Structure 1
């Protein structure tokens, strides 16, 4: 019945952010909107159904939450097939990235947008209950 339709990112400057996200994430601009209440833009990725929206805000909220005093977690992550290539792509775009780490077989790193928002990038682990192939098998039985 429900699926994720869009993920929204708060940005301080919509024009700069549209250019940055298109360049860095290689996403396609679908549409822009502006009303008295809201100014934003919507994008699609080259694969998948989930869309990305940028909403201009006066003060930006965090894109992560605290697990404890020493650890944070992103609200969502970007999935890639080759984490090293993704990390190198971002570094070549002069994007600040953390080192690639391994957590129970899953590889991940974080990167930061032009407003300092933190996002995680993950590479799926074959055999994991969270791997897209496993999820598709489960979904076919639902």
Structure 2
């Protein structure tokens, strides 16, 4: 049955204030608004095959994250790719975005976590996986 699904189409993200979150995602990630309603907006990287992000305003924001019960590491559910990992990390810090530690191995590969205005954990990585 898995042959029916070929990629992730959209990642839905709960937000408490649509305008504030749109500003954050557009300025931090460089996404574009594809469509916008009163309480939701579809954002896109304008890159073929890359999922869109659907920001949905809700009074029940439950930030997206989970803790690995084996390592106690807090994980995000969305990992963004950047070839300029260290530059992006320092840019986020300079722009007062909450970031976690920068983890890079000897080969220069790694990542770090950061948060949106609602406390949704996001992460950035410079690791490309098969098919990307």
Alpha-carbon distance in 1 for matches of 2:106, 2:8: 26
Q: What is the match of residue 25 of structure 2?
A: 21
Q: Which runs of 5+ in 1 are unaligned?
A: 125-130, 137-142
Conserved 8 A contact 1:97-1:111: yes
Alpha-carbon distance in 1 for matches of 2:131, 2:36: 33
Which 4+ runs in 1 deviate beyond 2 A? 46-49, 69-72, 102-106
Over alpha carbons, which structure has the higher Rg? 1
Alpha-carbon distance in 1 for matches of 2:60, 2:105: 33
Alpha-carbon distance in 2 for matches of 1:97, 1:42: 25
TM-score with structure 2 setting the length: 0.82
Which has a greater percent of strand?
Answer: 1
Which segment drifts farther, 81-90 or 97-106? 97-106
Q: Which runs of 5+ in 2 are unaligned?
A: none
Q: Deviations over 1:65-104 (max 9, x none)?
A: 1221722221121111111111122123221111211369
Higher relative CO (CA 8 A, sep ≥ 6), structure 1 or 2? 2
TM-score with structure 1 setting the length: 0.77
**Equivalent residue for 1:114, pick from 105, 109, 117:** 117
Q: What is the match of residue 135 of structure 1?
A: 131
For this pair of structures, how many residues does the alignment match? 125
- Following superposition, the deviation at residue 12 of structure 1 comes to 0.5
Conserved 8 A contact 1:11-1:57: yes
- Following superposition, the deviation at residue 24 of structure 1 comes to 1.5
Give the aligned CA root-mean-square deviation in angstroms: 2.1
